Amino acid sequence: MALANVATLLAKRGKRVLVVDFDLEAPTLPSYECFKDVAFDVGLVDYLNEYRKTGVAPNVSDYLSKCSFNGHKLWLLPAGKSTDAGYTQKLELIDWQKLYSDQMGYLLFEDMKQQWESFEGEGFDYVLIDSRTGHTDVGGICTRQLPNLVVSMFMPTVQNIDGLSPIIQTIRNQSLERKNPIELTFCASNVPHLDDEQDILSGLLAEASTKLQFDLREMSTVHHYDSLGILSQEIFCAKRPNSRLAREYEALSKEITSFNWEDSEGAKTTLKKINADFKLGRRLLYPHLSVNVEEKILLIYNLHKEDPEVGLLAAQAWSHFGNVENEIMALTQATKFGEDKSRLRLLLARALRAAGRTQEASVELRNVLLEQNLRGIEARASLRMLDNFEEDVQDIICKVLETPHPKIELLSSISDYVLRRGGNVPLLASLMWEFFEDSSTSELKGNYSNSDFILPLIRSMRFKDAIKVISSDDNRMGTGLFDPFNLFIAKWGHNKTPDEGIIRENLESAMINVDQKGANYAQCMGLWYAVIGENDLAVELFDKAIALASDEKFIFSCFSYLFLKPEDFQRETERAKRTVLNGKLIEPFFFSELDGGALQ
């Protein structure tokens, strides 16, 4: 049942799959739904008897049967026509010991493997062999000569575990003699799906893990499943893909493919396992694998250099080992072939920065910001890194803003950076206003900060538009100072006179815990007190703002409506303080940029 379901899952992925029925005494594969329509007269038993007669390895293709299940191709090498009366006699004619000792049976099966590899000029991606586990000659062929991987399925009972233990040890011993070691994976099958309140199941699985020497975290499980479909030998992965049994077969299929690094899905599954282990704090060398993990990553990467997902996963794995140069190599290649270039370039820039290659990292970050379909989170991360390099990003921000129809998510993510200089703010304000005015985006407006809309509009002296945004139903006004203060500034700019009513309405609540609210807050409160003539309190708050400014990298100033470096913020606040001390009227400095007809 498991083999037939795994075979159909692999075939569904477009893989060329051969299923071999090596359970010669009780062959069952042809009775499964995916093979029921296959017509055949000969099989493996006939192949072996033909060799016995002629001493020449027959053409395997003459014994294969091709079928289609749900539109996907499968090949079957049946045991033979087991329903014919003569089948048992044909099977009894095969002397396995003589086949190996006198008739070069070992070379026969090596030749069979080579024919599988070259079948129709393409070979098979997977050859799945159904065989009973036991101390038999056939069992030895299927577990020690033919396979690259043995999937040991066992019901967790003491008898099965004890019986399986010497067989597994024999496989491991034989593996040591092979050029390509035999891999092993384990699957507990027909497991009762019941409460284990007495730890019976967990105890048996722990015993299996100890005696068979495998990691329980890497064991697959197929639970007992009550369904009449099992009696009719349905392919659950096709008929009932959402059932628990189908999902467990899917997990088993992924575990099997993880050993086939030539399969890109298997390569990805393996790399994901490595990365998951590191996330859980486990730096393992995977005892069931034959190579060191870093060597394994390189082998997988070299097989799939043009697959960007493999490149990304390999880069992540190398980063866990601190192998920055290989991480850069993989990300460079992934960026070349991947579609999500903005994300890949950002990761590459981070790796380059870690390697001390700042100039190259800067180039990649600027390329990120020019990518089509740039997401806001990547734009912000790129700008943050460029900011750490102390680079002026206004030129690249201008290019971002000039791209056709930039998304609101992107505009929101870069607004703080635009507001560090005045030059690009009017363009940002226009784009944000277009979004605000678009009725089709009403449901999205609440997802973005009020400051994304209001601050650029006020800085661009579009006071009337700012008032409309602040007063709109889409603006979820909170209880803090932000909306009242910005409404105050917008009305002041629009009406050319400050509205002291807004100040007096909010001043008492706004002064609560002012010491804990940062330099910008203290500066805003200082402006309010200066407007209502409380100059001593205004100076005190300006001094507080100046003192607090050194703790922040960029601080928003209500006098320029820009984010400033601490020293520039302190300079503006000192200027405001001097204005008050000199008994002059105070107003936001950017108001002076207006001429007589510019107020809106």
Q: HSE-up of 580 (CA within 13 Å, CB side)? A: 27
Q: What is the pLDDT of residue 325?
A: 96
Residue 291 burial (CB count, 10 A): 13
Q: What is the pLDDT of residues 468-484, one digit of tens each?
A: 999 886 555 445 788 89
pLDDT at 596 over 70: no
Entry field: residues in the chain: 600
| pLDDT band (50, 70, 90) for residue 443 | low
- Cβ(149)–Cβ(183) under 8 Å? yes
Q: What is the pLDDT of residues 71-124, one digit of tens each?
A: 999 999 999 998 898 999 999 999 999 999 999 999 999 999 999 999 999 999
Q: What is the pLDDT of residue 441?
A: 60
Strand 65-69 relative to strand 72-77, pairing: antiparallel
Q: CA dihedral defined by 94, 95, 96, 98, rounded to 10 degrees?
A: -130
Q: Above pLDDT 90, what percent of the chain?
A: 66
Q: What is the pLDDT of residues 348-407, one digit of tens each?
A: 999 999 999 999 999 999 999 988 888 889 998 999 899 888 778 888 888 888 888 888
Phi then psi for residue 461, to 5 deg, are: 65, 30
> What is the rounded CA–CA span in Å between residue 588 and residue 536?
19
> What is the rounded CA–CA span in Å between residue 218 and residue 152?
13
| pLDDT band (50, 70, 90) for residue 594 | low
* 259-262, long-range: CB < 8 A, 24+ apart: 259/148, 259/149, 259/183, 259/185, 260/125, 260/126, 260/149, 261/299, 261/300, 261/303, 262/125, 262/303
Q: Which of 35-44, 45-54, 215-224, 511-520 has the lowest mean pLDDT?
A: 511-520
Q: What is the mean pLDDT of residues 133-148?
A: 79
Give Rg (Cα) of the chain.
36
pLDDT at 287 over 70: no
Q: What is the pLDDT of residue 49?
A: 94
Burial 255-279 (b: 16+ CB within 10 A, else e): bbbbbbbebbbbbbbbbbbbbebbe
pTM exceeds cut of 0.85: no
| Mean confidence (pLDDT) of the chain | 89
> What is the rounded CA–CA span in Å between residue 304 and residue 557?
52
Domain ranges of the chain: 1-132, 479-600
- Cβ(39)–Cβ(65) under 8 Å? yes
Q: What is the mean pLDDT of residues 413-438?
A: 89
